C-alpha cells in the first residue's frame, strides 16, 4: 500500500510517497455521524540509529505478548497507487511552506526572508524526493495490494501429518531439531490438504517437491537451499531468527536423519530471501550476483 512518510523533524515535516505495510485499521465515530479512520502502517525504510547517514530496511515486528505490531505508526490516509500518494505529499508540503511563510514578520526584510525560506524548502523537498526515488527503486519486491500467499504448512512426523503454521514460526520453533522443508506447488499443497481433511493416508511420493530448508540439531543452523541452482547450494542460513551469509555452508542431506521432521510449504527460495532481507547480517565481502543482489537492498546510503 502506498502512503505518505513524514520526514525531517528539524524542519517541521516533509512528506514523500512510500510503500508501506498496512497492519491495522481503527474507526471512530464523531458526534456528527462521521467515520474517522486511522491506519497502522510500517514504512519499509527508517533511519538507522547506529549510522545516521543510512536508511535501513524494516518490516512489521510482532509483539510476542499480545500479537500486535510494535513498530507501526498511525496515518490518516493510504493510497492504492504511487501517483495519488505523491500528489497528496506535494499538497501537504505546499501547506507546510504556506504555514512557515505566515510566521515571517511583515517588515522591510519580508521579501528577502520569504525568498530564503522558499529556497530552503525547495532544496529540502528536492532532497527527500531523491530519497523517495531510492526507496521506490529498492522496494520492487513489495507489490501494492498483492494477495497474501498461504503461510500455513503441512507438518509431518513419521506417518502423522497436520496443518500448522505459519512457516517462519515453525522455522524458529524447530531450528534446534533435524528437519527438512520442501517447496511444493499450490495444486500439490491442496492435494495433501484434501487428503488430511478426508482422513486419507497422505501420499507425498506422487508430488513434485523441492528441498528448501535443511536443519541439523548439531549446529542449530537452518540452511536455505537454492533448488533452482545447478548445484542446489545456497550461501545463506538462518540462525537465531536472522539470515547470515557463508559461502562455505554445507547444504547436503548427509546430516539429516531418516526420522527428521518434514515440512511442506508453498514458499519459494526467493520468498524466503525476501522475508529475511531486513535481518541480514552485513558482510561486505559477499560477492554481488543474482543470488545475493536482493540482500543489497537492505540499506540506502544518504548523501548530504
What integer pLDDT is reported at residue 212 of this predicted model?
Answer: 93
pTM passes above 0.95: no
Model confidence at 181, pLDDT cuts 50, 70, 90, reads very high
Encode pLDDT of 252-261 as tens digits: 776 666 678 8
What integer pLDDT is reported at residue 10 of this predicted model?
Answer: 43
Q: What is the DSSP letter of 231?
A: T
Lowest mean pLDDT among 56-60, 73-77, 266-270: 56-60
What integer pLDDT is reported at residue 6 of this predicted model?
Answer: 52
Q: Where are the alpha helices (H) located in 138-285, listed in sequence order? A: 167-173, 186-197, 269-275
Model confidence at 9, pLDDT cuts 50, 70, 90, reads very low
Closest listed residue to residue 268, CA positions, set 137, 138, 167, 143: 167
Give the pLDDT mean for 150-156: 84
Encode pLDDT of 35-50 as tens digits: 888 999 999 998 877 7
Closest listed residue to residue 221, CA positions, set 200, 198, 244, 202: 244
Distance (Å, rounded) from C-alpha 282 to C-alpha 51?
A: 13
Distance (Å, rounded) from C-alpha 41 to C-alpha 86?
A: 17
Beta-carbon contacts of 81 under 8 Å, excluding residues fewer than 6 positions away, are 2, 144
What integer pLDDT is reported at residue 265 of this predicted model?
Answer: 94
Encode pLDDT of 52-65 as tens digits: 778 888 888 876 56
Amino acid at each position: 500500500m502506498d502512503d505518505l512518510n513524514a520526514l525531517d523533524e528539524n524542519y517541521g515535516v516533509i512528506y514523500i510517497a512510500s510503500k508501506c505495510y498496512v497492519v491495522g485499521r481503527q474507526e471512530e465515530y464523531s458526534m456528527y455521524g462521521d467515520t474517522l479512520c486511522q491506519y497502522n502502517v510500517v514504512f519499509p525504510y527508517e533511519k538507522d540509529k547506529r549510522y545516521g547517514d543510512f536508511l535501513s530496511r524494516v518490516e512489521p515486528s510482532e509483539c510476542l505478548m499480545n500479537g500486535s505490531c510494535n513498530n507501526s505508526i498511525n496515518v490518516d490516509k493510504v493510497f492504492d497507487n504511487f501517483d495519488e500518494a505523491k500528489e497528496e505529499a506535494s499538497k501537504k508540503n505546499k501547506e507546510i511552506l504556506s504555514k512557515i511563510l505566515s510566521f515571517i514578520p511583515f517588515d522591510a526584510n519580508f521579501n528577502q526572508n520569504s525568498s530564503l525560506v522558499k529556497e530552503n524548502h525547495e532544496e529540502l523537498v528536492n532532497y527527500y524526493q531523491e530519497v523517495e526515488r531510492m526507496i521506490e527503486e529498492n522496494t520492487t519486491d513489495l507489490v501494492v495490494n498483492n494477495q497474501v500467499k498461504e503461510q500455513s504448512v503441512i507438518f509431518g512426523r513419521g506417518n502423522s501429518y497436520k496443518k500448522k503454521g505459519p512457516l517462519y514460526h515453525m522455522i524458529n520453533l524447530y531450528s534446534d531439531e533435524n528437519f527438512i522443508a520442501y517447496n511444493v506447488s499450490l495444486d500439490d499443497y491442496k492435494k495433501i490438504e484434501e487428503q488430511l481433511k478426508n482422513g486419507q493416508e497422505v501420499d507425498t511420493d506422487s508430488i513434485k517437491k523441492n528441498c528448501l530448508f535443511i536443519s541439523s540439531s548439531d549446529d542449530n543452523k537452518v540452511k536455505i537451499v537454492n533448488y533452482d541452482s545447478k548445484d542446489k547450494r545456497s550461501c545463506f542460513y538462518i540462525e537465531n531468527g536472522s539470515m547470515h551469509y557463508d559461502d562455505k555452508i554445507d547444504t547436503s542431506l548427509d546430516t539429516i536423519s531418516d526420522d527428521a521432521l518434514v515440512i511442506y510449504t508453498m514458499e519459494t527460495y526467493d520468498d524466503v530471501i525476501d522475508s529475511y532481507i531486513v535481518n541480514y547480517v552485513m558482510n561486505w565481502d559477499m560477492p554481488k550476483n543474482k543470488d545475493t543482489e536482493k540482500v543489497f537492498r537492505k540499506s540506502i546510503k544518504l548523501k548530504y
